[in-house]
Amino acid sequence: MNPEEVLKIIGEHKIVAIVRTQDAHEAWESALAVIEGGLPVVEVSLTTPRALATIEKLATRTRGVIGAGTVLAVSDVHKVVEAGATFIVTPNLNPDIVSAALTAGLLVGPGVFTATECHQAVELGAHLLKLFPASSAGIPAMNSLSDPFPGAKWLPTGGITLENFTDWLSAGAFAVGMGSALTRGDPERVRARAKMISTSLDNTPYMNGN
């Protein structure tokens, strides 16, 4: 799956589910529940034990679009490609990682917070700008940054909840990264949350031009 195809799916489903756990089996169950609930895009944080094995398992055994998060080294890029990831997300802007991801044919969303970082990410060719932490920046900051970077596709992450994700989408976010608000708890609850979000998005499309 090429970056354009991955980007299209993210834009259609609007949610990147972030799985970050202290147990590999829990990560698998949480990711599977999200996918079964109707949200196919899942990011497995590399801070999760056996994250690469979980990515490989999800990539080969489900119909999900699987990526890696908390990618902090160029060597990690090569590892996640081998595991079957189709995208990476980072908490910061590292030009070497962005370049390595693009060379490897991955969609990449580096973490940004300032206008300088946004400009650099756009110049590097990043597909998404991960506004992080979104809870600290706030919607007004995203809107202000959108003015000088009108073509940017925003992925606010950090503090996105069941109560506020629609506010971000209505304000122009291309999609949002949602972690514990979606993926915490037992699989049945995770699946129910995913289904609720998926159904609500089906009923209220976000035509923001991104």
Active site residues: 43, 130
Note whether 190 and 30 are within 8 A (CB): yes
Amino acid at the residue 207: M
Q: What is the DSSP letter of 99?
A: H
Q: How far apart are CA 101 and CA 87, in angstroms?
A: 8
Q: Which residues of 1-20 are buried (b: 16+ CB within 10 A; e: fewer)?
A: eebeebbebbbebbbbbbbb
Neighbours of 74 (CB within 10 A): 15
